[in-house]
Structure 1
Amino acid sequence: MEELFEFNPRSHGEFVEEQRCPCPDSELHATKFYEVECDFMDRKAKQFLNVARITLCVASVGLTLCSPVLGLLLAASTILAHAPNWGQDLTHSCLEVLYKCRLCEHEVHVTYEFMNPGETSNDCGRYSKTYKPTKLHGITTTAFEDIERVFHGMWTQYNLLYKNCKHWTNDLIGRLRSDALPPPLTAEDDDVNE
C-alpha cells in the first residue's frame, strides 16, 4: 500500500539515462527545450487523491450547515488553499533540454527538476513515459554553463500548494528567458561551496 503513494517520478515516468560526450562543458549548447510532465505515483492512487481533494472541498462546504461560523471558515480556507491547483492534475513537472556538442555533434538530454525538499537534479537522460511535452520558445540562454549556473541558483524549499515542482519548473523557465543571468562563478566562489 505504501508503494502506491510513494513519490517516485523516476520509476513511474520511466527515466532513461543517457551518456554525455567527454568534450568540455563549453562545447555544449541547447537546441531544444521542453516542459515535461509525468506521473510521480501509481495512476490509481493519483485518481484516488484527485477524488479526495474534491471530496475535502465539498465536505468542508457541507460543514457550514452544522456550524455556520466554523464551517464557513473551514470551507473558505480549504477552498482557497486548493484553488491554485484545481485545474491541474497531480503530476511531476520538469525541464528537459536537448544539448548538442559543437566538437563531436553528440546529442544528450539533461532533465532539470525539483525532486524533494532540498533536492534538485540535473541528470543526463529523459522521461520516456510522459504526458504530451510542451516545446518551449523564447529561451535565449543556450550555453550549458549558463543554464547550469541558473539551475544551481534555484530555490529548494518545498510547499505542496505554492512551492512545488510545477512552480520550480516555471521559475527556472522564466529565469532562462530573462536576460539577467547570474554572474559566472569565480575561483573564490568555488572555494566557498566545497
Structure 2
Amino acid sequence: MEPDLRRRFDLAVSADPGADPGEMAQVAMLHGGRIRHRRRLAVAGSAAAVVALVVAVGAVDLTESAAPPAGRPAMVTAGMRLPAPECSPEPVATDATDVVIFLPGATARQRSAIGQALHDDERIASWLFESREEAYARFAEHYQDSPDFVGAVDRDSVPEAFRLRLRDPARFSAFRQEYAAKPGVGTVVGRVCPASAPLGGIL
C-alpha cells in the first residue's frame, strides 16, 4: 500500500474510533479515490475500489457491507472532515488548542443547550456554530475531486458542529470529557493549531 494512502486511512479511522466497518470502508474509499483521481488512473467502480483497498489494508471484514445499501445516502463521519494543513494531522487526547463538537443527531433543544453552555464556558476563547448546509458546502468543496462520492452524500447526513478554540490547551481533557457526555453530542475532536488556523482545526 502507498504510504500516503495508508496515512490517510489511519487518520480517518483515528478521528472517529467508534465508526463501524462500513463507515471505515467509506472513508477508505473516499481518500483512495482522491489519490487515484489526482494521478488520473481509471477507477473501475466504487465497490471494486473498496474491495481492493480492504484487501490491502486488512482492516475491514469483507462480510460487512463496504458501501451503503441501495437507496441509503452515504454518512459523513468526523473522520471525513479534513484537518487544516497547519494543524496536527491526527486528533490529540491532550493539550488541544482547537475543538470540534459534532452533533450528528441533536435536537434543536439539545443544540441550544450546548450553545448556551459554550457561551457561558470561560475556557473558550472563541466559537461558532456550523450548520448542516455550511458543513455540506465545505465538504463538497474539499472533496470536489471525488464527485461521485459527493453526489452520493445527502445534505442531511452531514453533521452540524460547534467549532471552537480553547484559552488553555491543558484544559482540553476535562473539557472533552464534559461535553462528550452531553445529550446530542456525537464526537469531540481536538487538534493542535496555530492562531492563524481555521477555528476548530478542520477545513
Query: TM-score when scaled to structure 1?
Result: 0.27
Structure that is richer in strand per residue:
1
Tell which structure's C-alpha radius of gyration is larger.
1
